[in-house]
Amino acid sequence: MSVRSLLLLIVAVPALLLGGAAALGMTIPVPEWGRDYVLRFALDPQDAPLDLPEIEGPDDPTRPLVVIDAGHGGRDPGSVAGEEGGAQVLEKDIVLSLALALRDELLAEGGIRVALTRDDDRIIVLADRPQIARQLGADLFLSVHADSAGDRRDVGGASIYTLSNEASSEAAARFAERENAADRLNGITIEGQSEEVSNILVELSQQRTQEDATDFASLIAREGQGRIRFHPQPRRSAELAVLRAPDVPGVLFESGFVTNDADRSRLMTEEGRAEYAAVLARAIRVYFARRAEP
Ligand code: ZN
């Protein structure tokens, strides 16, 4: 396929899918649209159904749903730092408190549905975390962590991670492969020689998801300005398994360094956590407001 026809297809895909899909040899029995023209991928029936957490907030499925993921848990403590006096500070505890504070903040203001991947000290397999978001039909995913810099106690500040483009394309390719093997793409039956088309659809969907994730990351940076201390290079991208959902935009927020005194004391006090929660809640609200129907 030439670059030109690829570009044409990218521009034309939403219209084609809604209108002239037959021209491409596709039949669309039950198209299921997620945000905008991002496809909701069919969940693999072979994936074990997860023990899904409760959705809190308004009992209205049209309200946006954010899944907050407190990193680590159970026998996985995450980053560990020694507090003066000998007590150990564990990332899994800090991020759980922060996730709970954020949930409470969002629920108090209302209008947004919230689910936590964990609300107690339990371990959840990495791959299950975005899967929980997908199975709940979440609109946004936020994984909360805290970093460690080992002996470098001067290193501090929050960072915001999105999935690297490379990893994003890889994830899209893997999904495309799987969906092609099953000869279906979210209820869209693809017939004949349209493997290219389905690959492009998956790629498009992942790109759109990435754009949304990047927008959310920018909002956290914007809302946090002057309120949260950020790392000198706060915006990062990496190959993070927890952000690999193809149809749920996700951001990983490193709230600070447990090995940094200033960060730790902020993260371990209620006032400090309230500041983080207010910033993140505001970023989530603005994100959804930008995508609300006019
Ligand atoms: Zn972590």
At residue 41, does pLDDT exceed 80? Answer: no
Confidence of residue 87 (pLDDT cuts 50, 70, 90): confident
143 CA distance to ligand 1 middle (Å): 9
Give the per-residue pLDDT at 34: 43
Question: What is the rounded average pLDDT for all residues in the chain?
Answer: 80
Alpha carbon distance 9, 4 (integer Å): 9
Per-residue pLDDT averaged across 139-162, rounded?
93
The phi, psi pair for 58, rounded to 5°, reads -60, 140
Q: Quote the ligand 1 centre to 85 CA distance (angstroms).
A: 24
Whole-number Å distance, alpha carbon 238 to ligand 1 midpoint, is 14
Of residues 180 and 112, the one with the higher pLDDT is 112
Find the mean pLDDT for residues 137-157.
93
Supply 23's token pair: 């021209």
* Ligand 1 centre distance from Cα of residue 27 (Å): 44
**What pLDDT, on the 0 to 100 scale, is given for residue 139?**
95
What is the CA(91)–ligand 1 centre distance, in A?
Answer: 7
- Whole-model pTM? 0.80
Query: Ligand 1 center to residue 95 CA distance, Å?
Result: 8
Taking the centre of ligand 1 as the mean of its atom positions, its distance from the CA of residue 221, in whole angstroms, is 19
Centroid of ligand 1 to alpha carbon of 174 (angstroms): 25
**Residue 143 vs residue 84, higher pLDDT:** 143
Burial class from Cβ neighbours inside 10 Å (0-12, 13-18, 19+) for residue 106 reads: buried
Task: Write the pLDDT tens digit of every residue in 94-144.
Answer: 999 999 999 999 999 999 999 999 999 998 988 889 999 999 999 999 999
Q: 55-292 adopts what CATH topology? A: Aminopeptidase (3.40.630)
Ligand 1: centre distance to CA 59 (Å):
32
Q: How far is the CA of 76 from the centre of ligand 1 (A)?
A: 10
What are the residue ranges spanned by the domains of the chain? 1-39, 55-292
Element holding 202 (H helix, E strand): helix 195-224
For residue 10, the CA-to-ligand 1 centroid distance in Å is 37
Query: Residues 20-31: what's their mean pLDDT?
Result: 37
Picking from 68, 219, 212, the residue whose alpha carbon sits closest to that of residue 136 is 68
Q: pLDDT of 242-252, one tens digit each?
A: 888 878 999 99
Give the model's pLDDT for residue 282.
Answer: 97
- Structure confidence at residue 249 (pLDDT): 94
